[in-house]
Amino acid sequence: MQDLQFPAFRVSQGLLDWLLQGDEPSVRYQTLVQLPGKDETSREAEDAERQIGRVGWAARILGEQKESTYWDNPETCYVPKYASCIWKLIVLADLGVSGEDQRIKNSIEHFFGLHNVETGGFALRPKGSEKFDPHVCATGNMVRTLARPLTGSSPNSWQTVAGTVTLCGVESMAPSKQQSSPSGPYLNSSKTILELSGKNRQREHQSSS
């Protein structure tokens, strides 16, 4: 697979100082690991990452969550558009909220329970609806959401995105022969997130060594 090449650019100190202000940890973390090139394990980066979901935009979105599981509509994750579960998860993934956060695990399990198609992929409509079929956008959105918090923002992480998406497609969308639930067989997505996270960290370590 060909590596992506990003153009070199410079950021003024004034802009950098503004991005590094402490009131929005998602922006601070992304800035630290992408612009000055600090290691993700540096104290500054870890401190910023630890605050994601506790303060700032991500915290406000999570504060609107109902029953620590869904937003707006408990019966579907797609309606109302941009206000229900999947749309919030997409934004939270971009903001860097950890897949180990129990509120995120609950939301993903909620999504799987409503939209996972037993033959593979995800449907726009919830289970029990007419035309409950895999939908390319629904599937793509969720695979990206599952992959995004796991890869983080390091330069090496983008080299593992394709592998992560492949793993998500195989492990979290295909029916599981080992597990079942009242709504049909599917993999436990919380477990899948943690497993994939470990695989990604191992790949990034190998890439940097």
The mean of the pLDDT values for the chain is 74
- CA dihedral of 130, 132, 136, 140, whole degrees rounded to 10: 130
Q: Is residue 5 in some structural domain?
A: no
Q: Is residue 194 in some structural domain?
A: yes
Q: Is residue 93 in some structural domain?
A: yes
Q: Is the model's pLDDT at 196 over the cut of 50?
A: no
40-to-118, 151, 155, 195 alpha-carbon distances in Å: 37, 11, 10, 20
Burial of residue 53 (number of CB atoms within 10 Å: 0-12, 13-18, 19+):
buried
Q: Are 176 and 185 in contact (CB under 8 A)?
A: yes
Task: Indicate if 23 and 115 belong to the same structural domain.
Answer: no
pLDDT at 2: 64
- CA dihedral of 195, 205, 49, 196, whole degrees rounded to 10: -10
Task: Indicate if 157 and 199 belong to the same structural domain.
Answer: yes
Q: Is residue 117 in some structural domain?
A: yes
Q: Are 57 and 95 in contact (CB under 8 A)?
A: yes
| Full DSSP string of 18-43 | HHT-TT-HHHHHHHHHHSS---TTSH
Q: Is the model's pLDDT at 187 over the cut of 80?
A: no
The range of the structural domain enclosing residue 98 comes to: 58-208
Backbone angles phi, psi at 113, to 5 degrees: -65, -30
Burial of residue 174 (number of CB atoms within 10 Å: 0-12, 13-18, 19+):
middle
> 152 falls in which pLDDT band (50, 70, 90)?
very low
Burial of residue 19 (number of CB atoms within 10 Å: 0-12, 13-18, 19+):
middle
pLDDT at 140: 87
pLDDT at 6: 65
Q: Is the model's pLDDT at 206 over the cut of 70?
A: no
Task: Indicate if 128 and 171 belong to the same structural domain.
Answer: yes
Residue 122: strand pairing partners:
116
**Side chain identity at 195, as an amino acid letter?**
E
Write the pLDDT tens digit of every residue in 51-60.
999 999 999 9
Q: Is residue 192 in some structural domain?
A: yes
